[in-house]
A and B are shown apart, each in its own frame.
Chain A
Amino acid sequence: EVQLVESGGGLVKPGGSLRLSCAASGFTFNNAWMNWVRQAAGKGLEWIGRIRSKIDGGATDYAEFVKGRFTISRDDSINTLFLQLNILETDDTAVYYCTTRGGGTYYGIGDYFDYWGQGTLVTVSS
């Protein structure tokens, strides 16, 4: 069974930093492209960015609003995805989800999201 378990959320002041983790199991993590998506209360889904598998180059892609403030990384030795959040703003308050298609061929098939974690809440407030 695929499991994605996010952690690391909490209350942080504007301008502060936070590091989120997503522990993955039930699939071959090192083959999977991993994504972060967020959702503010009562709002829609917002894609943050992704990291490709190392075998596919390991590159990252980000949404424009990230503007260099967020960094996605992965540690395949412990099947964990990370999201470093810096220079946080009140508008970054949201539930942050990690999500993935879980592996397979990505080129020509694409990167939609079969599996989602339960999310971790980040609250940015003074």
Chain B
Amino acid sequence: DIQMTQSPSSLSASVGDRVTITCRAGQGISKFLAWYQQKPGKVPNLLIYATSTLQSGVPSRFSGSGSGTDFTLTISSLQPEDVATYYCQKYNSAPLTFGGGTKVEIK
């Protein structure tokens, strides 16, 4: 099975900072990578699919990039409401593995 490795596992940044989270797949997964945001006590919410396509309603400060094995989620200007844990997920084929998560906090 292909493993999904996220880094860092947690980060603390100031409001307005640019934040980058990386996700590495153990093998190439083409563009089949999604990102989810899970705020404390809430259900996960789809942010990005197909590596870089923003789900409807997601603020434009979120963006995704990458291909093959290396992917990135970027928050261009961190806002207080972005405090959450972020997960990547491969979905090219089963198993649809999630990364371990990155917890984002405000400094």
Q: Give the A-B contact count at a CB cut-off of 8 A.
A: 60
B98 and A44: CB pair below 8 A? yes
B 29-48 to A, binary, CB cutoff 8 A, 1 in contact else 0: 00010101010000111100
Contact residues in B for A110 (Cβ distance below 8 Å):
32, 49-50, 91-92
State which of A15-23, A45-53, A74-82 sits at the interface with chain B.
A45-53
B91 and A111: CB pair below 8 A? yes
Number of interface residues of B (CB under 8 A): 25
In A97-125, the 8 Å CB interface with B consists of 97, 110-114, 116-119
CA distance A112 to B36 in the complex (A): 10
CA distance A97 to B45 in the complex (A): 12
Q: Does B68 contact A (CB under 8 A)?
A: no
B55 and A47: CB pair below 8 A? no
Given A47-B97, A50-B96, 14 more A-B residue pairs with CB atoms under 8 Å apart are A44-B87, A45-B36, A47-B96, A47-B98, A61-B95, A62-B95, A97-B44, A110-B50, A110-B92, A111-B91, A111-B96, A112-B34, A112-B46, A113-B36
Knowing A45-B36, A118-B43, A119-B43 are in contact, say whether A112-B98 is a contact too (CB < 8 A).
Answer: no
Contact residues in A for B101 (Cβ distance below 8 Å):
44-45
B43 and A61: CB pair below 8 A? no
Q: How far is the CB of B38 from chain A (nearest CB, A)?
A: 8
B 73-93 to A, binary, CB cutoff 8 A, 1 in contact else 0: 000000000000101010110
Q: Which of B32, B49, B100 meets A44, CB within 8 Å?
A: B100
